[in-house]
Amino acid sequence: MSKYKLFLLRHGEGNWNKENRFCSWVDQKLSEDGVKEAQDCGRLLKEQGYKFDLVFTSILSRSIQTAWLVLEAMGQEWVPVVKSWRLNERHYGSLIGLNRAEMALQHGEEKVKRWRRSYDITPPPIDESHPYFLEIYNDRRYSTCDVAKENLPRAESLKEVLDRLLPYWGSTVVPEIRKGRTVLISAHGNSCRALLKHLEGISDADIASVTLPTGIPVLLELDENLKPVKPRQLLGDQAKIQAAIKKVEDQGKAKPST
């Protein structure tokens, strides 16, 4: 029997999502379409009668902005928003800033898919010569983390995302859910996928085929042990959701230049 409801949300489309680039820890705002996705998500949740008690986000602007827009559309701006780097997107290392389709053309679709979707393959690490290294590691937000800046990731597999996310989940999010609070996690494709893997017991192989489109809320109904009592529900127009999933999956396909 369902005891708790948990909502996961991949932020609305960011500017680099639109350009099909690996965004990762580079701080990007939502695109115009991303703003609309977040607002539409909030309206949908309001129409369905949901009310949040607490929202968790990463410390990246696109995650925070999505949470604000959702709450505004729901008329629930007062709901507390708690931020942590542990909900950040996966760190894509030296791939940050590169175009996925161009990478697929250069390295092959299968290799890019393994970099993007596999559980335990870590991309090449970022180093100080990378054009976005200083933009990330000189950002003041990373001096607020619960680990020293020099110990923050330089690249991550999905497994490593889960490893840094789980302590926060257990110490901070779970106690709020157990209090009976309805929680929204407004995060990123990979931090949400990592949490889904943990909660649903998805295998290392099967997680590669789990795709979350931007701006689509995912409802998990959990029992007293925080185990799902039914399959996850992607809320909204199912035909549009399937089209959005295909769009995400096609990002890693090679597109020859014309």
Q: What pLDDT was estimated at residue 86?
A: 98
Closest CA to 55 of 20, 18, 9: 9
Q: H or E stretch including 35?
A: helix 32-47
Q: Nearest 5 degrees, angle CA 218-CA 221-CA 226?
A: 115
Tell whether residue 135 is among the known ligand binding residues.
Answer: no
Cα 223 from chain centroid (whole Å): 24
- The predicted-structure confidence for 133-160, as pLDDT tens digits, reads as follows 999 999 999 999 999 999 999 999 999 9
Tokens of 15: 């500017």
- The predicted-structure confidence for 24-52, as pLDDT tens digits, reads as follows 999 999 999 999 999 999 999 999 999 99
Closest CA to 64 of 184, 145, 180, 155: 184
CA dist., res. 113 & res. 119, Å (int): 11
Higher pLDDT, 98 or 169: 169
Q: What pLDDT was estimated at residue 106?
A: 75
Q: What pLDDT was estimated at residue 255?
A: 58
CA dist., res. 210 & res. 96, Å (int): 22
Q: What pLDDT was estimated at residue 251?
A: 62
Tokens of 48: 């369905």
Helix pair 61-74, 32-47: axis angle to 10 deg: 40
User: Under DSSP, is residue 9 helix (H, G, I), strand (E, B) or coil?
Assistant: strand
The confidence band for 254, taking pLDDT boundaries of 50, 70 and 90, is: low
Catalytically annotated residue among 37, 89, 156, 188: 89
Tell whether residue 90 is among the known ligand binding residues.
Answer: yes
In the chain, how long is the greatest CA-to-CA distance? 56
- The predicted-structure confidence for 170-218, as pLDDT tens digits, reads as follows 999 999 999 999 999 999 999 999 999 999 999 999 999 999 999 999 9
Active site residue 130: no
Q: What pLDDT was estimated at residue 121?
A: 93
Is the model's pLDDT at 253 over the cut of 60? no
Closest CA to 116 of 163, 58, 158: 158
Tell whether residue 100 is among the known ligand binding residues.
Answer: no
- Report the mean per-residue pLDDT for the chain: 93
Tell whether residue 102 is among the known ligand binding residues.
Answer: no
Could you tell me the CATH superfamily of domain 4-251? Phosphoglycerate mutase-like (3.40.50.1240)
Tell whether residue 62 is among the known ligand binding residues.
Answer: yes
The residues spanned by each domain of the chain are 4-251
Question: From edge to edge, which strands make up the β-sheet containing 233-234?
Answer: 81-83, 54-57, 183-187, 4-10, 217-222, 233-234
Catalytically annotated residue among 11, 37, 156, 188: 11
Active site residue 11: yes
Residue whose entry in the numeric block shows the structure tokens 């870590």:
122
**Alpha carbon of 241 to those of 132, 192, 238: distances in Å?**
32, 17, 5
- The predicted-structure confidence for 72-130, as pLDDT tens digits, reads as follows 999 999 999 999 999 999 999 999 999 988 887 777 788 777 777 789 999 999 999 99
Tell whether residue 170 is among the known ligand binding residues.
Answer: no
Tell whether residue 14 is among the known ligand binding residues.
Answer: yes
Q: What pLDDT was estimated at residue 250?
A: 72
